Amino acid sequence: MPTYLAGILIAIAVIIILSFFIKSKGRRDLGEYKEIKEKWLEIEGLMKNSSSLSWKMAVIEADKLMDSALKEARMRGETMGERLRFSVHKYPKMQRVWEAHILRNNLVHERDNEIDKKDAEKALALFKDGLKLLGAL
């Protein structure tokens, strides 16, 4: 085999290997984040309680988890709302998560705001769908 052909083959192999490392270095697979999955199980556990306070905490914690996943996915923005808005450009179905985020905001910012189990379950389903879109669950 001519030496120039061997050199070309080695150069191609090096380029392939380098491109693999460059692609994987800047991007993390959220599915590997065991902490996110563990936290989600804790959130689902809160829904098993018969207390509206537990359901409220589940929605608040799910919102925090969603924000963490958006940060890990490197969505731009200073606030959860900005990151969520940015994520809609990449994942149009993420628009549905807004409904759950608004419910969370109402729970946190309005005094004596209660939640029923049905609304909490709906919000959690929306957050779960968003986490799946990001590859976190």
Mean pLDDT of 95-104: 95
Residue 17 located in a structural domain: no
From the DSSP assignment, how many helices (H) and strands (E) are in the chain? 6, 0
Residue 2 located in a structural domain: no
- Tokens of residue 115, six digits: 């939640």
pLDDT at residue 18 is higher than 60: no
The CATH number of the domain holding residue 55 is 1.20.120
How many domains does one find in the chain? 1
Residue 96 located in a structural domain: yes
Angle, helices 34-46 vs 52-72, to 10°: value is 160
Instruction: Give 42-87 pLDDT, tens digit per residue.
Output: 999 999 999 999 999 999 999 999 999 999 999 999 999 999 999 9
Instruction: Give 107-130 pLDDT, tens digit per residue.
Output: 999 888 889 999 999 999 999 999
Please calculate the CA angle 54-127-89 and round it to the nearest 5 degrees: 155
User: What is the pLDDT at residue 25?
Assistant: 41
Residue 119 located in a structural domain: yes
The domain of 96 spans: 30-134
Q: Pick from 94, 30, 135: which is nearest to 81 by CA?
A: 94
